[in-house]
A and B are shown apart, each in its own frame.
Chain A
Amino acid sequence: MIDVALTLAALGLAAVPACLALVAFDGEATLGRIERIGLGFLLGLGGLTWWMTVVVLSGFRLSLPLVLAPGLAGTVILVARLHPRRHGPTGSRPGAEGGDAGSAVTARPTAEQTGAIDRLLIAGIALTIGWVFFQAILTPLEAYDAVAIWGLKAKAIFLERGLPIALLQDRAYIWSHPDYPLLVPLAESYVALALGRWNDIAVKLVFPLFLAALVVLFHAALGRLERNGPPGAEPASRRRSLLFTFLLASIPALSDQVPGGYADIAVAATSGLGTIYLVLWLRGGPSILLAISALLTGLGATAKNEGMLLALVNLTLLLWAARGRRRPRFAAGYLAAILAIGAPWCLARRGQDRDIDDVVNVTVLAAALRAKNLARLGTILYEFLQEACKAKSWNIVWPLFAAVAALRIGRPGPKGSRVLVAAAGLTLLGYAAIYVVTPYDVVWHLRRSVDRLLLPLLPVVVFALAAFHEEERR
């Protein structure tokens, strides 16, 4: 229990500098308090793991003071910067009157009383997240990928206090995917550093926290969807936001997969929310939403290789959907942020013979081109459909999304559900391309992985349903 409390405190500490930075740089007070906390956790932990990547690649020995030093320095600077504003002549920060206008949870322009249904929805969301926390702290890391890929590397990084190069280059351990990005192992090893010992139960708390951040930010984004909506939209409805948040949280695949220690929830919370914030900016949101989208998308690329595909998708959407003379500048800034976040690990694995992905490599791609693998597309489509129709995992979210896609594709309309449908569609095409070239038996490969590939798309897909609903109400 002490380790659990210490873990939560360590992860909270990682979030502090990012929360303060969001306060400092959110001049228009766009973000609400709870939204800042959720983003603070994702960006704070992401920033910390980025710094840890730089440290281990530079050959320095990992230690808690070294890991926390930039965050503490940043905290001091940000507090100094914020201090005069907080104690200014008016006694409040400029623009603080509407400080929580962006929050979907706190002050709303049309504050509604919390009714019985709202309370039930909140209870349902809280129970789901609580159930995931409960499952996570009851068992150690035990699922295949959780131990073979993420946990093994995290334990090695913690015990070696650096990058376990011998392990990563050992062909006997090639099944642990030495090329995979390090956000999740580094987050787990940070927890172990804070505890002073490897605890394979405490490190699992990272994953329910990703889920909690995802749900909180999804709810805040729903409120923003309606406020930034097109002309004629009715005022934000707390109940509608809660309902769609509940729909997301209640999807069984989340409560099944998240406690196991898989990295897919990290991709969902970073890349998935990155797409949502991008769409909110495209609908007329302030520039800070684009910056948040770029940072989250960049972090997604450091969580799993699939995050790199999602980064490419988001960049494509930005180029396709943004208008105006400043579009190239925005796209360049977006790309620069992603590259700055992803570059350390990409450069390291190219330079140190760790670029040995078993699917996406030159040998496999060359063989795939020769072998006319396009004939696999039928099998891939069948397996995707079979998985998507599993109500016990996904409820009816995929059939509903297919209906929304059919109603929205090719039709003019606001940049809500259309862009989200395009995002999910492009991602699914990217996934299909991976299965087209895979050197493994395609059915075996699909059945082992397709459920986890679909999980990071859940926030985008449920948000598309909400956007469609909001557009239809006009």
Chain B
Amino acid sequence: MTPGEPPAPAAAPKTATRPSIAGRAILVLWLLLWAQSIIRLVRHDPGLPSHLLMLARADDEGRRSIAYGEELARFLRFCVQRLPDRATYGLDGVDRDSLDWARAVYFLYPSRLAVHPRFLLVFKDRSFATDGAVRFATLDDDSFILELPHRPAPDGREAGGR
């Protein structure tokens, strides 16, 4: 036992003291703000209890659908089912800096983003068109998977990854 300071010698205990007025005022303010944060949670989102109940009743896939949004979750499940194992892909229809982009890239792994992908995943983009691409799989009119013309990636890695 070699601390930075010598240990405190035994001291006669004082009697317990009540908190000062300032201490009590701080505590009351803290508790009020804490209570307000709980009340705000419910008032800000009146649908919260039913939302939580819905989540609690759902299975894992249902929870993903609620968390990601039904359409994106359905599209991602469709892509996972239809893409070949460890395919390379590009993603259209999802903003590059958005939370949905991050969720999609995470969800689709081990298929991977690539600069020169074998597949293009098109989500909610009816006007999308590209030369030489063929529809590989279709979820609905504006969400589908395109297979792109085969070409080697500049880094020498074969597009498609299989």
| Contact call B63/A138, Cβ cutoff below 8 A | yes
A284 pairs with B7, CB closer than 8 A: yes
Contact with B along A315-351 (1 / 0, CB 8 A): 0000001111011001000000000000000000000
Contact A156 B115, beta carbon cutoff 8 Å = no
Contact present for A199 and B60 (CB under 8 Å): yes
With both beta carbons as reference points, the residue of chain B lying nearest to A175 in the complex is identified as B102
Q: Is B9 in the interface zone, CB < 8 Å from A?
A: yes
A122 at the interface (CB under 8 A from B): no
Quick one: CB contact mask for A148-192 with B, threshold 8 Å, 1 for yes?
100110011001100000110010110000000000000000000
Evaluate contact between B30 and A395: CB separation under 8 angstroms. yes
Name the B residues within 8 Å of A252 (CB-CB): 34, 37
In contact, B37 and A392 (Cβ under 8 angstroms)? yes
Contact between B8 and A233 (Cβ–Cβ < 8 Å)? yes
Smallest CB–CB gap between B148 and chain A, Å? 16
Which of B14-22, B123-131, B139-147 contacts its partner? B14-22
Instruction: Give the distance in Å from the alpha carbon of A367 to the alpha carbon of B4 in the complex.
Output: 41
**Cα of A392 to Cα of B41 in the assembled complex, Å:** 10
Q: Give every chain B residue within 8 A of A389 (Cβ-Cβ).
A: none
Give Cα A243–Cα B26 distance, bound, in whole angstroms: 12
CB pair A151–B106 under 8 Å, yes or no, is: yes
A327→B115 CA distance, assembly (Å): 55
Of the residues A148, A230, A283, contact of B106 by C-beta under 8 Å:
A148
Determine if B5 and A415 form an interchain contact, defined as CB atoms under 8 angstroms apart.
Answer: yes
Is residue B29 contacting chain A, with contact meaning CB distance below 8 A? yes
Q: Does B81 contact A (CB under 8 A)?
A: no
With contacts A159-B109, A172-B115, A201-B63 known, is A138 near B6, CB below 8 A? no
Given known A-B contacts A138-B63, A396-B33, A326 and B102 have beta carbons under 8 A apart: no
| Pick from A228, A234, A290, A392: contact of B40, CB under 8 Å | A392
Give CA–CA (A285, B7) in the complex, Å.
7
Residue pair A281, B3 in contact (C-beta under 8 Å): yes
Q: Is the CB of B33 within 8 A of A201?
A: no
Which B38-86 residues have C-beta < 8 A from chain A?
Answer: 40, 52, 55-56, 60, 63-64, 66-68
Q: Mark A378-405, 1 if CB is under 8 A from B, else 0.
A: 0000000000000110011000100000
A218-233 residues with Cβ-Cβ distance < 8 A to B are 228-233
A287 in the interface, Cβ–Cβ < 8 Å?
yes
Q: Which of B15, B30, B99, B112 touches A170 (beta carbons < 8 Å)? A: B112
Name the segment of A82-90, A139-147, A207-215, A450-458 touching the other chain.
A139-147
- Cβ-defined contact, B55 with A138, below 8 A: yes
Q: Is the CB of B11 within 8 A of A172?
A: no
With contact pairs A142-B67, A230-B8 given, residues A172 and B14 touching in the complex (Cβ less than 8 Å): no
Q: Which of A144, A160, A287, A327 has the most CB of B within 10 A?
A: A144
Q: Could you say which residues of chain A place their CB within 8 Å of the CB of B40?
A: 392
Q: Does B113 contact A (CB under 8 A)?
A: yes
Q: Contacts A144-B99, A201-B60 given; indicate if A322 touches B4 (C-beta within 8 A).
A: yes
Q: A140-B63, A144-B99, A201-B60 are in contact. Are A283 and B11 (CB under 8 A)?
A: no
Given contacts A172-B114, A173-B113, A281-B3, contact A250 B26 (CB under 8 A): no
A235 at the interface (CB under 8 A from B): yes
> Could you say which of B1, B37, B52, B68 contacts A287, with CB atoms under 8 Å apart?
B1
- Set of chain A residues within 8 Å of B68, measured between Cβ atoms: 142
Query: Which residues on the A side are within 8 Å of B64 (C-beta)?
Result: 140, 200
Which residue in A138, A152, A243 is a CB contact (below 8 Å) of B56? A138
Residues of chain B with a CB closer than 8 A to A395's CB: 30, 33-34, 37
User: Cβ of B3 and Cβ of A282 under 8 Å apart?
Assistant: yes
Closest chain-B Cβ to A31's Cβ sits at a distance in Å of 14
Q: 0/1 per residue, A58-74, Cβ < 8 Å to B? A: 00000000000000000
Give a binary string over B86-103; 1 marks a CB under 8 Å from any A CB, 0 the rest. Answer: 000000000000010011
**Contact between A396 and B29, CB atoms less than 8 A apart:** yes
A425 touches B (CB below 8 Å): no
- Cβ contacts under 8 Å, A196 to chain B: none
Q: Does B13 make an interface contact (CB < 8 A)?
A: yes
Residues of chain A lying within 8 A (CB to CB) of residue B110: 156, 159-160
What's the minimum C-beta distance from B20 to chain A, rounded to whole angstroms? 8
Within 8 A of B (CB), among A93-150: 110, 138-144, 147-148
B137 / chain A contacts, CB cutoff of 8 Å: none
Verify if B23 is at the interface (C-beta below 8 Å from A). Answer: yes
User: Would A232 and B14 count as touching, CB distance under 8 A?
Assistant: yes
Residue of A with least CB distance to B37? A252
**In the complex the two chains form, is A250's CB within 8 Å of B4's CB?**
no
Tell me the A residues contacting B by CB distance below 8 Å: 110, 138-144, 147-148, 151-152, 155-156, 159-160, 166-167, 170, 172-173, 199-201, 228-235, 237, 243, 247, 250, 252, 281-287, 290, 321-324, 326-327, 330, 391-392, 395-396, 400, 414-415, 469, 473
Q: Can you list 27 contacts pairing A with B, beta carbon distance less than 8 Å?
A: A110-B13, A142-B67, A142-B68, A147-B102, A148-B105, A152-B106, A166-B112, A167-B109, A172-B115, A200-B64, A201-B60, A230-B8, A234-B16, A235-B13, A243-B27, A250-B30, A281-B4, A284-B5, A287-B2, A324-B2, A395-B37, A396-B26, A396-B29, A414-B5, A415-B4, A415-B5, A473-B14
Closest 9 CB pairs of A and B: A284-B7, A148-B102, A147-B106, A282-B4, A322-B4, A234-B14, A138-B55, A252-B37, A142-B67
